[in-house]
Structure 1
Amino acid sequence: MRIAVVAEQFLPHINGVTHSVVRVLEYLRAQGHEAMVIAPTYEKLGALGSVDSMDGIRVQRIASIPLAGYPDVRVASCTVARMQRILTRFQPDVVHVASPFVLGWQAIQAAKNLGLPCVSIYQTDVPGYAARYGAPVLENVLWSHVRNMHNSSTVTLAPSTASISSLHEHGVQRVRMWRRGVDTRRFNPARRDHEWRERVGGGRKLVGYVGRLAPEKQVQDLVVLDSLPDTRLVIVGSGPEKEKLRMLLPNAYFVGFLDGDELATAMASLDVFVHPGEHETFCQTIQEAMASAVPVVAVGRGGPVDLVDSSRNGWLYKPGDTEMLRDRVLDLVGDNAKRAAFSRTAYTTVQTRTWNAVCDQLMEHYAQARTVASRARRLSTTAP
């Protein structure tokens, strides 16, 4: 098959959308399919070396500007006519649109005009972020845009029961489940580094968060963990809230942004992983923690609800109840036997969730989308 992948964000910027797109591309290449990527330009490309291809996969760059207040995130845009020309030259069997909003919306319209099946991946709760960024009046407007985009797609793939329910509540049709995979070779308990643990914690239990330091992640809720006895809070990541959080969490160890094997080592070296963000459509870092045999304490809303089996591989706590968050963490750091049992179950939970397995499912969704689009074309040509 020939797959055109349209990504709102891509290399060299690293985030959840980029990570998923790269994994899908690796799979498509390994299975002998032909892919191309349509993605934003980045100012840093010249210094880093142009990412005009990724291991032989062509990347078509679209002019972009930095997002206000978050310069690492780029917003790309082109006309629908130009997007149609790009797709017509490549002649894809399927258009895969990752977390559409601006560039993705142009791709959805272009695919529809060309009669191409379009598979849109719902991955970012942009309307939910609006309130966290101080613009709650935009939430309904943003949901209207999300509804138009996804109802114009052949099918929408969402990563969790919570995100499917939310999309249905806001009028989005033709939604199916497609979860994310986890790299169990990279994220595994063998990477636990006792020297790293000693350097960071000095013999204390390590309770860690991994992710963007941004308002929607609610990292400020971890203030209740900053002074727990015999523990140290570890913050891995970067973002616009970094300096504010340093002041709010004076006892925490801020590692900064990590990727690859360094990230896997940090993750496996934790005793408990925490995630307080209520707007996660999935939460990939929870799977990475579990693959590293680290039990999880996460908010009981959104994607984590599907991933954390309370009292078996971690704990969920009520949204907004930071005292419950604190109690759940204390329960695990204070009981070595319970923490070890949760760790074993967490590890077992994700061992079958490989990227190969979930991308096999993605190919089935592609095939179904092609069938639906083909049927629609036949009906349009036979209509009076």
Structure 2
Amino acid sequence: MRYAIVTETYPPEVNGVALTVRELERGLRGRGHDVELVRPRQHRQDHAGPGGMLTTGVHLPLYAGLRFGLPAAARLRRAWRRQRPDAVYIATEGPLGWSAMRAARALGIPVASGFHTRFDHYMRDYGLPLLEPLALAWMRRFHNRSAATLVPTRELRAGLEGLGFRHVVHLPRAVDTRRFDPAQRDDELRARWGLGADDLAVIHVGRIAAEKNLGLAIRAFRALQALRPDARFVWVGEGPEQAAIREANPDFIYCGLQRGEALARHFASADLFLFPSLSETFGNVTIEAMASGVATVAYRYGAAAEHLRHGIHGAAITLHDETGFIDAACRLSLEDASRRGMGAAARTAVQSLRPAQVAADFDAVLAGIAHRRSHADVHAALA
């Protein structure tokens, strides 16, 4: 089969959407399919790769370091007339994604879309609450033009269906348990953080931005630090809030962006992961922490609702219960043996989340919509 994937973000950009799209692309190629990747050019020396297409990109407001693609409908129509995909997967709802939707529909190519980001919730986080219903309507209109909208959790599928989204399909996420592994724990790295073997390393991994609810992570750490003076707070990531947080909290350890094996070492070298975000559609870092054997405190939605069992793998807190979040962080900071046992149980819980199975499921969705389209064309020709 020949598939096209259209995305406005892709590695080396570091975010959940970019990394997820790359894994989906690799999964399809690994299954023997021909995959065309359409994405914005990230820099002058950027290359499309075999069978790929680069489009014009523009920096995304409020998201330094990320770009969105300008519309390319005419170019895509020409390319897809020359070499027609059996199905198209559109990962992002930006201008490039909308133009790809128009091009595919004009040519009768079936489309699946990915629901990766709650842009409607972001409106509140960035001080624009009146735009929240408009953002939701915009996303619903986009996704309802596709034959399948892929979501990472059953909870999100039910929520979107209740909001009028059609053809919502649950596609689970996976984690590379060979990379994210407790064996990656690095005593030399912990020593650079100023920590001994029995000291407490608390970690946050993710974009340092308003939508991540980071004030709660800081309050939770300060509360547990009063109980565990040996605790240090390690921050992995970058973002627009970093300078202000760093100025107010100079004792935190700021590690910047980490990728690949380095990220795995940072995760496995920690003892407790605090993830207070309320804006995720999934939260890949939750299952990465679990695979690394690190007990986690997170709100009970997204990946935490799907995989994190309260009291077994860490703490899954009722949404918006800030006191419960802080209390759980404090309790786990004091219970060393229990916390380590939770980390080991978390590792076991996610070992079945295999990338190969996600690739197979993704392939089945795309092949299914391609088959339905071909079947419909045959019936139309015979009518």
Establish whether TM, by shorter chain, passes 0.5.
Answer: yes
Deviates more, 1:133-142 or 1:74-83: 74-83
| Correspondence for 2:66 | 73
| Alpha-carbon distance, 1:20 to partner | 1.2
| Correspondence for 1:247 | 247
Deviates more, 1:248-257 or 1:113-122: 248-257
Aligned residues: 376
Determine if contact 1:40/1:76 at 8 Å carries over to the other structure.
yes
Mapping for residues 213-362 of structure 1, pairs under 5 Å = 213-227=208-222, 228=225, 229=228, 230-362=230-362
- Which stretches in structure 1 are left out of the alignment for 5+ residues? none
**Alpha-carbon separation, structure 1, partners of 2:93 and 2:62:** 20
What is the one-letter code of the residue matched to 1:209?
H
Query: Is 2:193 the partner of 1:197?
Result: no
**Alpha-carbon separation, structure 2, partners of 1:253 and 1:188:** 22
**Alpha-carbon separation, structure 2, partners of 1:356 and 1:106:** 30
**Alpha-carbon separation, structure 1, partners of 2:93 and 2:172:** 17
Please give the secondary structure, in 1, of the residue aligned with 2:232: strand
Change in 2 beyond 3 A, CA 1:211/1:126 = same
| Correspondence for 1:212 | 207
**Alpha-carbon separation, structure 2, partners of 1:14 and 1:337:** 34
What is the one-letter code of the residue matched to 2:252?
A
Change in 2 beyond 3 A, CA 1:336/1:216 = same
Q: Which has the higher relative contact order, 1 or 2, with Cα contacts under 8 A spaced 6 or more apart?
A: 2
| Correspondence for 1:107 | 100
| Alpha-carbon distance, 1:191 to partner | 0.4
| Correspondence for 1:167 | 160
Deviation track 1:234-278 (CA, whole Å, cap 9, x = no partner) reads 110001110111134343211111111111100000101111111
Deviation track 1:107-137 (CA, whole Å, cap 9, x = no partner) reads 1222122111111111111111111011111
- Which of 118, 121, 136 is matched with 1:128 structurally? 121
What is the one-letter code of the residue matched to 2:328?
R
**Alpha-carbon separation, structure 1, partners of 2:168 and 2:191:** 47
- Which stretches in structure 2 are left out of the alignment for 5+ residues? none
**Alpha-carbon separation, structure 1, partners of 2:104 and 2:304:** 33
TM-score (norm 2): 0.93
- Which of 45, 48, 56 is matched with 1:52 structurally? 48
Please give the secondary structure, in 2, of the residue aligned with 1:173: coil
| Alpha-carbon distance, 1:195 to partner | 1.7
Deviates more, 1:13-22 or 1:221-230: 221-230
Provide the alpha-carbon RMSD of the alignment.
1.7
| Alpha-carbon distance, 1:379 to partner | 5.1
TM-score (norm 1): 0.93
| Alpha-carbon distance, 1:279 to partner | 1.2
**Alpha-carbon separation, structure 2, partners of 1:322 and 1:123:** 25
Determine if contact 1:226/1:249 at 8 Å carries over to the other structure.
no
Deviates more, 1:336-345 or 1:1-10: 336-345
Query: Is 2:370 the partner of 1:370?
Result: yes
